[in-house]
A and B are shown apart, each in its own frame.
Chain A
């Protein structure tokens, strides 16, 4: 079985300051991990994904995440927040070797607010 816990339901930062969105996962097999972003009334857009290559993954719009197996974490970071980053962010896991790796399990989401 797999699960995801997003530790903060809401994060508020000032424009130009760093962003940290926390995610812990549980997986019976080797996981694939993703971060998706959802802007209001839009579909989900993939920011980045980890599928067993480098543990530090770089995504779009300056975001990156580090896979830490010992901590079962996959936190999302960005050095400097932009107003356009305000959105809901979902951490997602799938079991790579479980035979149903297409089945994505989503966290409950973290709403990021960026203040001017």
Chain B
């Protein structure tokens, strides 16, 4: 059973470009979460999605960031007009449910560098 897949693993963008990060959850998981890890910091919750629905985006910056989890295909985290402060590791996690016993399984992360 493949784990959570993320691609690309490394992404370099220039200021003002768009970054698209992809996440394929574990087989059978319909709950997806995105977290951001800034240098020297722990991971911070960004958004929780189910298929075709954003459940909680309380951790997402209000501008330039968006996320989706379509009926078919991976979840996408999109950052428009990137700035240097967006440089971070972005982790995706998935779970089979949201009960306290449901574990979130994490992908390897995408490391975004903005030049």
Contact = CB atoms under 8 A, between A and B. Distances in A.
Tell me whether A and B are bound partners: yes
A47 B100 CA distance: 16
Interface residues of A, number: 25
A29 B82 CA distance: 37
Interface of A: 4, 32, 36, 41-46, 49, 51-52, 90, 94, 96, 100-109
B74 interface: no
Interface in B28-60: 31, 33, 35, 40-45, 48, 56, 59
Contacts of B98: 101-102
11 contacts: A4-B42, A43-B6, A43-B109, A49-B103, A96-B100, A100-B56, A102-B33, A103-B48, A104-B33, A106-B35, A109-B42
Interface of B: 3-4, 6, 9, 31, 33, 35, 40-45, 48, 56, 59, 91, 95, 98, 100-101, 103-109
A105 B45 CA distance: 7
